[in-house]
Structure 1
Amino acid sequence: MPPPEVLLVCSTAVSSLAVWSPSRVHRSSARVAVVLLLAAGAGLVVFGEPRWQWLPIIAGAVLALVAVTASRRARRRASRRAVTAAAAASLAVTAVGALAAWSFPVVDLPEPTGEYAVGTTTVQWDDRGREETWTDDPDDHRVVVAQIWYPAERPEDGRTRAPYLGWSAEEARVVADGLAGAFGVPGFLLDDAARAGTHATADADVAEGRPRYPVVVFSPGLGGVRSQNTAWAQELASHGYVVAALDHPHDSAVVVLEDGTVVRGRAAATGETDEDERRAAEWTSIRARDMRLALARLREANDSGRGPFAGRLDLDRVAAAGHSLGGAAAIAAAVRDHGFAAVIDLDGYPGRVETTAYPQPLLALVAGAGTGDAEGDRRYEESLEEVLGASAGPSYRLTVPDAAHLSFTDAPLYLPPVPSLVGTGDRTAVHRITARATLVFLDATLRGARVDLDAALAELGELTGPSA
């Protein structure tokens, strides 16, 4: 919790304890509680932004002060019982607020560790020759939105950080509400995520350190959004990679197009295994085509002689990457388009991919917590082994201990640390492992770094697979 919230909690605790304190310390305890409350209030006004978690904490602090004030006048037994009940209630209400503040913290993305500053920009790519199959309008064509993270020149003093969930505060609010709906929780629970900032500068100049930068095209999970792996994308960019993270309209939870149109997710399961597998295979195919479109548009931007990325992208060294359904889409895109030189699958079930031999090396990161379903884990294991075996390049399966499915995204930074949901209680532990594993894999496969890849990956988890 931020310091002002800690002071509020301390004020409540001191006030409540004063109710049961001997008379000789009662007055001094009450004064300490008032000072703490005033200091907390000043801190909230000066340094904080309003958070919904404040409501129960402030209510508890005020109720505690009322109780400690009333306790000095309570002479009758009934009055003393009422004061004691009020003090106990203040502790309970404050505990609820403190738990809420801990469960839904102020979002603080990990600082990138690479040598480069990070820039970001958003583009929209239209594929006018491709019908939009999510709608019935025959004139509707496919559109993909991408956020590009890249090595940048150091920003000038005073440049603000780019927002986290959207290009503007308004878009971030829309995206936060869409994600909340996907998680099945009220939108206000993600207020902190909606207000969060990144470590990137919007539209910064591309860094001059290298003549050209390798590229990673990223697809999020089903219902996910382009920003869901921002911490990971920023880390890669700080180490000299350009990351194009995609929004898939009608599939992502919500996508805001450049004209302001809001496209909400429509992908939904039916509960019937065969039909859901058919749908998932179709969605995977659509996403794979989106990733191939991204690669084509990046080639055009690189070759055009115009724009910030002209001549700056090394498109002979491109990786397809994705989380969950996006991981399956990355494999499918690489199988069809050998312009992708490597593949990264972040806990994606590849059973919807038509498995044929493909030349690219593959790194699959797997959640050590599993799916919670023995049959699902078995099918996932078999499917992943088949895909790993189809790679003509070196292939690796790295199982990350204590990781859950959402651990490979930014979700641990703003959701409650429930192990089955986001894995280990350390909110950044899996991020560090994911970033390290993908960087060492990309450096070896795209940049030809001389490294014992097996040994480097084995330090991060349980390494298995045909090449391990």
Structure 2
Amino acid sequence: MCRCPPGADHGRVTEIITGLHVSLLEVLALLGAFALVAARWLPPVARPRVTIAAGAVLVLCVIVLAVVGLRWQLLPVLAGAAFALPFAVAPLLPRRTGRPARRARWWLALPGSLACAGLIASGPVAAWAFPVPVFPEPSGEFAVGTRVVQWTDPHRPETFTTDPDDRRTVVVQLWYPARKQPDGARRAQYLGRTEHEARTVSEALAGQVGLPGFLLDGVARARSRSVFDAAVEGTGGRFPVVLFSPGSGGVRTQNTAWAEDLASHGYVVAALDHPYDSAAVVLADGRTVTGETGSTGDRDEDDRLAAGWTAVRAADLGFVLGRLEGLDRGEGADPLAGRLDTGRAAVAGHSMGGAAALQAARQDRRFDAVIDLDGYPHGPASPALGRPTLALTQAITPATDPRYLPRLTEALDAATAASYRLTVPGAAHLTFMDGPLYLPPVPSIVGSLGRARSPRVVASATLAFLDATLRGRPGDLAGDLRAYGELTVHRPA
């Protein structure tokens, strides 16, 4: 429930109480509010000191939090304290007769005290349900840097607009192995380059699913584990690259925990914003492009539209790989010049992004491996996949689209390279992105793996696959993947 002042390490502040992700000031405000409610039930000798101390602590904490930023989860705490305050203070004030004021009968005061306590308790419950996400420490040996680039394809018109001169532009965020940063280095804003961009994106994401924007205000304030524009690691040789496409309406940062973990193991991850498809894309000139894709309610029409959007995304992925090749050759004097091993490239995506990854691999032989994170295969089923493919899925249930598993199985069975479908127990569709870090821990929404374990499982399974396919690391890949769930191996005929 906190907003850190500029320069503060937000992750450390919010990790003071594990699971609630609240700051020390918010803890003190919470205790002060409860103390005001409890003061009515204390012995007369202790009541004045507790009331005065609790009120003073609460007021000071609220003043400071109002300056640095007051989260909505603290509002019911303040409301409960405000209701309790008159009843806590009134018995301390002398009446005109000079006698102390009398307290209300206990059976009259009890319902009010319980109501105030319940109101105050709803604050930490809300903080638990909608926390400021705390990103896991990457598990690899390298620190992680990040930066954002914007590229325009001069050969492709923008199909979402009617302007014949408009060309397709994509925004790409790179995560890469970086030199170790000094303690206290300011970590990257999660959803954007600036807090304004992060807030714009979080409000768009909330609106996309029909939630009021304030519910995700903690997401806009979060900071990840990487550092913007950190110096590239100097001794790691050349890094294989992994391109990533987010889900329908998703944004480039939606798999930040996953991307940071891969980068810490020596990969460069390039995640795309697809304008007019992503919920909100803030361009370099300050314009915000909002999503225009969505369901029509007609299954056949939705399939046709999804196939078209997937084709645009696949073209975006191929275009970005080409720009990364140019970047490696030194075009633009980029710090990553000479460090990108684009000859070892994987393409990945979540949901519709997974479908785009499958299509990109079919169309572009430069991709050496494919990762589909619970994505239904939209678009044509030919040509056959010619690269190793890993499909991570949630458990298939009666509520799952009945076409999903047959369609995915058809694509993997027809592949001319060994492919794997890993069903992760306890996973839901949003397990395969950052959602478990900041959404209510409801199994049907984010799965039952937990906030800490969800990103670790997805990243670890992905790394096992990438190390085997891009780096040729010896070992039993199937055995490694089975450690994370139920594995089906599809071998070419």
User: How far 1:214 sits from its partner (Å)?
Assistant: 0.1
Alignment of 1:415-454 (within 5 A): 415-424=439-448, 426-454=450-478
- Cα distance change, pair 372–146 in 1 and its aligned pair in 2 (3 A): farther
Is the partner of 1:210 in helix, strand or coil? Answer: coil
Alignment of 1:345-356 (within 5 A): 345-356=372-383
What is residue 145 of structure 1 aligned with on the other side?
171
User: How far 1:67 sits from its partner (Å)?
Assistant: 2.6
Alpha carbons 2:132, 2:221 under 8 Å: kept: no
- Cα distance change, pair 38–202 in 1 and its aligned pair in 2 (3 A): same
What is residue 409 of structure 2 aligned with on the other side?
385
**Per-residue Cα deviation, 1:435-456 (whole angstroms, up to 9, x for no partner):** 1000111001000111211111
Is the partner of 2:230 in helix, strand or coil? Answer: coil
Is the partner of 1:258 in helix, strand or coil? Answer: coil
User: How far 1:81 sits from its partner (Å)?
Assistant: 5.9
Alpha carbons 2:247, 2:350 under 8 Å: kept: yes
Is the partner of 1:447 in helix, strand or coil? Answer: coil
What is residue 4 of structure 1 aligned with on the other side?
25
Separation (CA, whole Å) in 1 of partners of 2:375 and 2:87: 54
Matched, 1:69 2:89: yes
- Of residues 55, 63, 67, the one that matches 2:75 is 55
What is residue 428 of structure 2 aligned with on the other side?
404
Query: Which segment drifts farther, 48-57 or 330-339?
Result: 48-57
Matched, 1:102 2:122: no
Tell me which amino acid in the other structure corresponds to 1:272. D
Query: Which segment drifts farther, 84-93 or 196-205?
Result: 84-93
Alpha carbons 2:306, 2:378 under 8 Å: kept: no
User: How far 1:12 sits from its partner (Å)?
Assistant: 3.3
Matched, 1:320 2:354: no
Is the partner of 1:349 in helix, strand or coil? Answer: coil
What is residue 310 of structure 1 aligned with on the other side?
337
- Of residues 316, 319, 341, the one that matches 1:290 is 316
What is residue 360 of structure 1 aligned with on the other side?
387
User: How far 1:211 sits from its partner (Å)?
Assistant: 2.1
Separation (CA, whole Å) in 2 of partners of 1:159 and 1:25: 46
Is the partner of 1:227 in helix, strand or coil? Answer: coil
User: How far 1:317 sits from its partner (Å)?
Assistant: 0.6
Is the partner of 1:161 in helix, strand or coil? Answer: coil
Tell me which amino acid in the other structure corresponds to 1:65. L
Separation (CA, whole Å) in 2 of partners of 1:197 and 1:13: 31
Query: Which segment drifts farther, 315-324 or 420-429?
Result: 420-429
User: How far 1:422 sits from its partner (Å)?
Assistant: 1.1
What is residue 459 of structure 1 aligned with on the other side?
483
User: How far 1:9 sits from its partner (Å)?
Assistant: 3.0
**Per-residue Cα deviation, 1:314-369 (whole angstroms, up to 9, x for no partner):** 1111000000000000000001111000000001011434243222101111123x
What is residue 153 of structure 2 aligned with on the other side?
127
Is the partner of 2:490 in helix, strand or coil? Answer: coil
Separation (CA, whole Å) in 2 of partners of 1:56 and 1:264: 33
The aligned length equals 463
Is the partner of 1:350 in helix, strand or coil? Answer: coil
| Runs of 4+ more than 6 Å apart | none
Separation (CA, whole Å) in 1 of partners of 2:429 and 2:28: 35
User: How far 1:80 sits from its partner (Å)?
Assistant: 5.7
User: How far 1:7 sits from its partner (Å)?
Assistant: 3.1
Alpha carbons 2:144, 2:175 under 8 Å: kept: yes
Tell me which amino acid in the other structure corresponds to 1:352. G
Separation (CA, whole Å) in 2 of partners of 1:35 and 1:76: 22
Matched, 1:260 2:280: no
Q: TM-score, with normalisation over the residues of structure 1?
A: 0.92
- Cα distance change, pair 198–221 in 1 and its aligned pair in 2 (3 A): same
Tell me which amino acid in the other structure corresponds to 2:415. S
**Per-residue Cα deviation, 1:25-51 (whole angstroms, up to 9, x for no partner):** 6456546644763685588479x6421
Alpha carbons 1:12, 1:90 under 8 Å: kept: no
User: How far 1:117 sits from its partner (Å)?
Assistant: 1.0
Is the partner of 1:53 in helix, strand or coil? Answer: helix
**Per-residue Cα deviation, 1:80-120 (whole angstroms, up to 9, x for no partner):** 66643432221121122222111111221111121111111
Is the partner of 1:274 in helix, strand or coil? Answer: helix
Separation (CA, whole Å) in 2 of partners of 1:191 and 1:211: 40
Separation (CA, whole Å) in 2 of partners of 1:76 and 1:59: 22
Separation (CA, whole Å) in 1 of partners of 2:398 and 2:25: 39
Separation (CA, whole Å) in 1 of partners of 2:448 and 2:420: 23
Tell me which amino acid in the other structure corresponds to 2:37. S
Tell me which amino acid in the other structure corresponds to 1:193. V
Is the partner of 1:162 in helix, strand or coil? Answer: coil
Tell me which amino acid in the other structure corresponds to 1:64. A
User: How far 1:203 sits from its partner (Å)?
Assistant: 1.5
Is the partner of 1:228 in helix, strand or coil? Answer: coil
What is residue 181 of structure 2 aligned with on the other side?
155
What is residue 189 of structure 1 aligned with on the other side?
215
**Per-residue Cα deviation, 1:292-335 (whole angstroms, up to 9, x for no partner):** 01111111111235211211111111000000000000000001
User: How far 1:197 sits from its partner (Å)?
Assistant: 1.4
**Per-residue Cα deviation, 1:161-190 (whole angstroms, up to 9, x for no partner):** 121111112211111111111121111222
Separation (CA, whole Å) in 2 of partners of 1:263 and 1:45: 32
Alpha carbons 1:119, 1:151 under 8 Å: kept: yes
Separation (CA, whole Å) in 2 of partners of 1:208 and 1:371: 48
What is residue 34 of structure 2 aligned with on the other side?
13
Aligned Cα RMSD in Å?
2.4
More helix by share: 1
Alpha carbons 2:243, 2:347 under 8 Å: kept: yes
Separation (CA, whole Å) in 2 of partners of 1:239 and 1:28: 56
